[in-house]
Structure 1
Amino acid sequence: MDIIYLTITKDIAQIAFWLLAGALAILTYRQARRTVLQPIRTEVFKEQLKVMSETMSLFVGKSELPLRDDFSFSTLFDANACYLMDSYVASIFDMKFDPDQRPYSPTNCPMKILTMDPGNNSSKLKDSTGSQEEVSYSQVWVGHWGDYKMDRLFINKQYCEMNQKITRLLENPLLPIKLVELLSEYLTQAAKNQYLLIALLDQESKSLPAKFPALPIDHKVWSRELHGKYMQAFNHLKPIADEIVKFVRSYFEADNLKRL
């Protein structure tokens, strides 16, 4: 009987030993893994902090108007309203303009988009990936004014620069997916205001013959009134900017700081 008890005791002791050894091995592995990975996590966190701090600098503390000024939507409006009026005057009164001296020149507006396929009267919008080769800067639109369609939109330098800043952030692989989505939404909201301007100028073009039947043309009042309409219909940027700032603050305070 004593032998049986001794055998059972020995088996229990062996089981306890292997369980303890297994537990120690797991704990040792986890500690070693944590020790090895901690420097990597720290470096990743530092890079995230850097890129997200750059993101914050674009949005934090800004009201709606400064956010619009980052793209300079007023310049976007002025360049394209000028192009519309130049096209009208060139078509109706046979006046000529030097495009290099106009607000929509390649220097002021290094990019443009087509609003419809060339040679097609369809008003279907194309993606805003235009280049200087797509539409010639050599002259404004000239033809029978009844056929006029707003076929291009000139994108000002400030808009291009702001778009590039956000695009560079989006290309960073360390950016959280949620922040990528918010920044993409922000660019989409800005682009909506491009297409809003296209639609507004195209609609306004129909009324120009009645408003300006003869020379000289003083279009300052017209431009102010049209700009007022544009601002009234403008898609606000601040709600999305606030969501971006809120996410960045929450991400570091609630999640990543605990991982250090």
Structure 2
Amino acid sequence: MNWVINNISWLKDVLWVLFTLIATLLAILTYRRARYTLLQPLRSEVVKRQTEVLVELLDFVSVEKGEFYFDLDYMGIAACNAFDLLTTYNFKLTDDKISKAVQENIGGFMLLEDSGPTKTFKVHRSPFHEQLFDDEKEFENYKKELNDQIEKGVVRMEKLYLTKTHQKTIQKINEFIANPFMPTKIINLLETLLADIDFNLKNYMIPELKKFILQAKSFNSSEENPLHISYQAIYNSFIYESKSHSPTIKDIRKEIREYLLIDKKWF
């Protein structure tokens, strides 16, 4: 008892420190719990939105059914550009109906040469179609120049047509990339996918089309002896050489499954 009386001063200080420490810890825990409670609705909404966009992307890159490759429409791009080149080089074809299908499917193009407007387009100077940018004579001279070059084994391409289906798919990928709820890892994989698509078009599709025209030149086509073209064969040759998108798509699907905890045990 005497010891307590003699040491009451510093015991009081110690007890006050302990009381203050406990009160501080309780305040921190209370604050964290309150903050968690306040932010929980926001977090729940973010998770909900993120889940929706990831499920949509998972369905979009359905590699098992090969749907994504159809959406890229490499086949359509090969057919449209092969037909355009055959027309530019004045080949005579057995199928005169494909022209309408090509025009309906084209959704844009990729310029391949930097200098000036493309000479294979008929561009009007006036919105009222009063005067052509290139007259008929200049256009025919340009086509003659192309045919002279092809005799030397040189095929010039000013542009690569892209189909509406392809353009729609690329736009969709860009929308996924721009989505604020998309995780960074998946954005990086989608950007890799876009880069691979562009690489395939520039490094495999264009050389394949040029090779096709050089092969076609060895046939003497005319009104009496028109060319019969298998556009599927051009696509098959391209797809055999091109870079596969399957590994990147599988990585995207794997990341999505991890984010959505699809393979986790819930119980």
Give the superposition deviation at 1:137. 4.1
1:20 maps to 2:29? no
State the TM-score, normalized to the length of structure 2.
0.77
**Of residues 162, 175, 185 in structure 2, which corresponds to 1:168?**
175
Gaps of 5+ in 1: 120-132
User: What residue number does 1:58 align with?
Assistant: 60
Q: Report whether the alignment pairs 1:245 with 2:253.
A: yes
**Per the alignment, do residues 55 and 102 of structure 1 end up closer, same or farther by CA in structure 2, a change over 3 Å counting?**
same
Looking at both structures, which has the greater relative contact order when contacts are Cα pairs under 8 Å and sequence separation is at least 6?
A: 2
Q: How does 1:32-111 map to 2 (within 5 A)?
A: 32-60=34-62, 62-63=64-65, 65-89=66-90, 101-105=99-103, 107-111=104-108
Which protein shows a greater Rg?
Answer: 2
Q: How many residues align?
A: 236
Say which is worse superposed, 135-144 or 194-203, in terms of deviation.
Answer: 135-144
Deviations 1:215-238 (A, max 9, x none): 5222325x4543332121122122
Identity, % of aligned positions: 25
**Over aligned residues, Cα RMSD in angstroms?**
3.1
Partner of 1:173, secondary structure, is coil
Pick the aligned partner of 1:233 from 221, 241, 256: 241
Q: Deviations over 1:93-114 (max 9, x none)?
A: 8x9xx9x944442x32121011
Contact 2:112–2:159 (CA under 8 A) maintained in structure 1: yes
Q: Which has the higher mean CA deviation after the structures are superposed, 201-210 or 50-59?
A: 201-210
1:219 paired to 2:216: no
State the AA in 1 paired with 2:44. T
Q: Given that residues 82 and 103 in structure 1 are in contact (C-alpha distance below 8 angstroms), is that contact kept between their aligned partners in structure 2?
A: no
* Residue 67 of structure 1: how far off its partner (Å): 2.2
Over 3 Å counting, the alpha-carbon distance change for 1:189 and 1:257 in structure 2 is farther
Asked if 2 retains the 8 angstrom alpha-carbon contact of 1:104 and 1:154, the reply is no
- Against the structure 1 CA distance between its residues 44 and 231, is the aligned structure 2 distance closer, same or farther, given a 3 Å change threshold? same
Q: Is the 8 A contact 1:166 1:183 kept in 2?
A: yes
Instruction: Note closer, same or farther for the CA distance 1:212–1:197 as it changes in structure 2 (3 Å cut).
Output: farther
C-alpha separation in 2, matches of 1:56 and 1:201: 33
Structure 2 regions of 5+ residues with no counterpart?
123-138, 150-154
Q: Could you tell me the TM-score, scaled by structure 1's length?
A: 0.79
State the alpha-carbon separation in 2 of the partners of residues 8 and 224 from structure 1: 93
8 Å contact from structure 1 (residues 56, 245) kept in 2: yes
